[in-house]
Amino acid sequence: MSEPKVGASPLSLELEEIASKVRVCTLCPLSKSRTVAVPGEGPVDAKLMFVGEAPGAEEDKQGRPFVGAAGKNLNSLLNLIGLNREDIFITNIVKCRPPENRVPTWDERNACSPYLKGQIRIIKPALICTLGNTALETLTGATSISRVHGQTMKKEDMLIFPLYHPAAALHNPKLKSVLESDMQKLNEALKQLQLPSSTPKRSGSPKLDDFMP
């Protein structure tokens, strides 16, 4: 995420404050193995938030989310429905790369959750797209993405749209076509919410108290 500009809005400054805390965070053991933390990036008034599992090797080097092969795949998927990376806020459940890209533990997810909660509270996305099983499970408690992908779920006052992780589709043509089909369903969901993908409107503030453990 870029440094706040002179005259940046209070919300942008709040978002940057979270990013600054993430960059020096030592709340869980992942701080010892990371190269740099990856707070997330995107506009403070984004109506769509995408949440993945954790930074990978390239993200860990650059400090930016979804910049590796999976990120390129995500960009193509967004383009399918007329969206660009600049339209969305994108982050992860944990902000530091787990060794060997292992799944983050619940202790790590819980330690990191105040940052994501803060980002959601500030941005107030109308819809959150989870990418992969870990994000889905952490945010909703659902454990099987194969049952719930491509449909809108309500969690408290939040609308969540589960998608497979774009990395999972890199070498699996079947999953790639499922993801492409789910993006069209996402586009339909945005229309039903009167949130056309190119100009989504802001909705009310989500309730977060019971959002994550």
- Quickly count helices (H) and strands (E) in the chain: 8, 5
Contact footprint for ligand SF4 (CB under 6 A): 22, 25-28, 30-31, 37, 94-96, 108, 111-112
Nearest approach, Cβ of 67 to ligand SF4 (angstroms)? 18
Question: In this structure, which amino acid lies at residue 108?
Answer: E
Produce one character per residue of 103-130: b if its CB has 16 or more CB atoms within 10 Å, e if not.
bbeeebbbbbbebbbbbbebbbbbbbbb
Closest to ligand SF4 by CB, 37 vs 183, is 37
Nearest partner of 83 among 166, 164, 190, judged by Cα: 190
Closest to ligand SF4 by CB, 41 vs 108, is 108
Closest to ligand SF4 by CB, 36 vs 170, is 36
Nearest approach, Cβ of 157 to ligand SF4 (angstroms)? 25
Contact status, residue 88 vs residue 50, Cβ threshold 8 Å: yes
Nearest approach, Cβ of 176 to ligand SF4 (angstroms)? 29
Report how far apart, in Å, the C-alpha atoms of 179 and of each of 70, 105, 146, 200 are.
Answer: 13, 26, 11, 21
Closest to ligand SF4 by CB, 114 vs 196, is 114
Given 3-state DSSP classes, what are the helix, strand and coil percentages for the chain, each rounded to the nearest 5? 45, 10, 45
Contact status, residue 29 vs residue 108, Cβ threshold 8 Å: yes
Nearest approach, Cβ of 26 to ligand SF4 (angstroms)? 6
Nearest partner of 63 among 31, 42, 37, judged by Cα: 37
Nearest approach, Cβ of 98 to ligand SF4 (angstroms)? 8
Closest to ligand SF4 by CB, 30 vs 67, is 30
